[in-house]
Structure 1
């Protein structure tokens, strides 16, 4: 599937990747590709849900709404607030992916960023400036990651 992208400099949330306290390298910025609305919708419908447009709306039939989709719940907020740039260890163990694994960081049906796993790992704090239930999935992997506003995350497998 070929996607259409919004140039990062035109992306309405671009400031999260230009924050002075969490600098993103130019090489990584080149790999952060916000999807145009139609492409985002297609990705959401295929990999997340064809019924719900936001995480809080997940309903029966959505893989992410199934209790057994999620195996571990931990806290991400303390790691985000710390000086340590490291993604929480449990996430790194669960998502044991190659650096160049393509991922979708899905804020909601029309707000999705395509990038690579290594770019997300280095810049995860920037992605989480918006923490209203984003999901991280890869079309090539079954593992999934769900960040919640209460400072917790869930590790699971896509159905």
Structure 2
């Protein structure tokens, strides 16, 4: 995988927000993929045709309602003073802290980090909430976040 420096990432401000600062140690572990690497990962793991979650079509695993087993709200947890992910996510996603995760906004915008860094800073990632999908290397579980404040947990084929 190829990366771009976080300082060159157009939306890096979400990780430097004054009300939700990310530690320097964790900032170093937030790695935006280069456009070509993001595109390749997206085509392999997310969709061969659609470039954005709002464009998924029949045949895309994420467009299949059967994919998504659990649904709940993320907005209330995001608005709270607690840094914790919504409980339903932590109940159903049992990845080790060092598992590599990918937060996929669209085919050209994907961020790689570890599960623990995502858990600690999930609110920063969700400044952009128009359907991004969280997946992990060598795992089938996925979480999708929606603008209406909900999320869905499921499994990729």
- Establish whether TM, by shorter chain, passes 0.5: yes
Q: Which residue of 2 aligns with 1:108?
A: 106
Aligned partner of residue 88 in structure 2, secondary structure:
helix
TM-score by length of 2: 0.98
**Which stretches of structure 1, 4 residues or longer, exceed 2 Å deviation after superposition?**
none
Contiguous gaps of at least 5 residues in structure 1: none
Q: Which residue of 2 aligns with 1:145?
A: 143
Q: Which residue of 1 aligns with 2:44?
A: 46
**Residues in 2 aligned to 1:111 and 1:59: alpha-carbon distance in whole angstroms:** 20
Q: Quick check: 1:70 aligned with 2:32?
A: no
Residues 101 and 140 in structure 1, CA contact (< 8 A), matched pair in contact too = no
RMSD: 0.6
**Residues in 2 aligned to 1:103 and 1:46: alpha-carbon distance in whole angstroms:** 15
Contiguous gaps of at least 5 residues in structure 2: none
Residues 3 and 33 in structure 2, CA contact (< 8 A), matched pair in contact too = yes
Residues 99 and 137 in structure 2, CA contact (< 8 A), matched pair in contact too = no
* Residues 44-100 of structure 1 deviation map (CA, whole Å, 9 limit, x = unaligned): 001100111111111111110111100011000011011111001110111111000
Q: Which residue of 2 aligns with 1:59?
A: 57
TM-score by length of 1: 0.97
Residues 47 and 139 in structure 1, CA contact (< 8 A), matched pair in contact too = no
